Structure 1
Amino acid sequence: MAKKPLPGQLLFTPEVSSYQPESFTSQPLASHLGLLDKKEDVPVSGRRYRPLRWLVMFFSVSFILIGLLLVGGAVYTKQRFTGSAEFHWAVWLSLLSGGLLMLAGFAGSFGVGMRSFCVVVSTALFLAIIVAAFLTTTLIIKDEMVNACQEVEVALRLAIVNYNPNDRATTYDLDTYQRRFRCCGANSPADWLATSFQMIPDSCPHPIDLRRGCTVVITAYVKKMTTYVIIVLGTLTGYLFLGFLAIAFLAWVHYRSRL
């Protein structure tokens, strides 16, 4: 027989609900208080950005090689040749540019290898400065080419006036130019007869070409060599800019991964 319930006793036992708010069981309380809302830094990894990392690594290694070529060429030129103050400035500029490119290459390689956001961003900013410096140098050389061509005749006439056969310091440069370019005088061999020397030096080619002065020949040579230098610097500047774009994009990808 079923027992009769006592007064005040329920006819059934209520089931204890197992429901608990998910928000309080899946995460600690600190996360609901806004203390753990920030994401941790996530490095750029996986196959998605692997081609970009390899591209930046390629640019970085090439920057190191180009820097070595600039430094080696500058050292070789300084040991084998002599020249004016502008020549020495060009040599030191090549040394500095090569060193900066090598530094940018090593920094880029380290940033890609370690996947460091700070190093990649610093490399991008540093490379932007190098690109601006190369572009400025190219424009300056282009302007200086015009001035140099205009000053060739003035420099040659001054060298002819100061020419002294008994003083090698006053004859070496001019004799070297006349032998190398097979020219004589500033505009013609007659320039020598208008000076106190009043004779044509042995450095002039034989037989003497009365129409072949050194001004036209040297000016054409300066224009030709300067054009080559501008083309090389312009191409190198464009290549550096492409490398800057690749490294800047990688820095942006790192930044997005940190959001």
Structure 2
Amino acid sequence: MSILQNLNAKRADYGAELMSSTARAVMVVAAKGGVGKTTITEVTSTVLQDSEVPHTIAECEANRRIEGRVAAPVTHHPLHKETVAQLARNPDLLNRYWDGVYRQYLAGPLMLGDLAANALDLLLRWASDPPTNAALQQGANWKFVLVATADPESLSGTLKSAAGLAHVLPEAERWIVFNEIAGPVDLAHPGMQEFVKRANCQGPLLLSMCRAPHFSILRAQGGYFQTAMTATPTSLLRHGMDYLEAGRAICGLRDWVLDSCGIMRPVVKSLLKT
């Protein structure tokens, strides 16, 4: 082997010199906005808390949205539209941004990530660097929850995301969660079954729409779990409801929270096995 061939063979060795980490990560991602990604993050955090799994949340969004809605500590990594464009152009800025998220991951024991729409593209670009990819062990100890809806743009983008993850981080576990926020999802439909086959992810899991009356008012009260636990009919009277309407709304929210946590529990169970 020539000296240049030997040097080329060592390109990916740098990451192996980093301390091997037992930390774990669950990253909630989506190919487009408005698919309920932050809702999935909040529900997953609630299940982790219920399972007594210590974790932090990395919020890679333009604005703080999840802080105060969950019990876990949240670190905000600002990702504005202008920032996305800068990171896409400048490898040094790209590394600086995701290295910060990676440091939160290394602090362990578990990081739950809430990534802005299309932030996964930047993460995969960062993870494609040989030393970084080696440090990530090609995605070992990482799980990605891809949130999709029945919207065609969401479906096509999710396939692209799944393929990118399989290529760059082949050791990462991939899950698909459908959110019915954009309409019903028929998992028995042949077209949907073909989609799931092509995506080659675990699941799919299906999160139903919350049918609780006055859901928009309930959502504005704070975290879903917190509101379901603490809201009373009296506290909702100022929003124009009577006692009966308020009681139905609270009961509907509680049912939905319990159902949603049950739907996301398989992801957490798989996490506890590793």
**TM-score normalized by structure 1?**
0.24
- Larger of the two Rg values belongs to structure: 1
**TM-score normalized by structure 2?**
0.23
Q: Which protein is richer in strand relative to its size?
A: 2
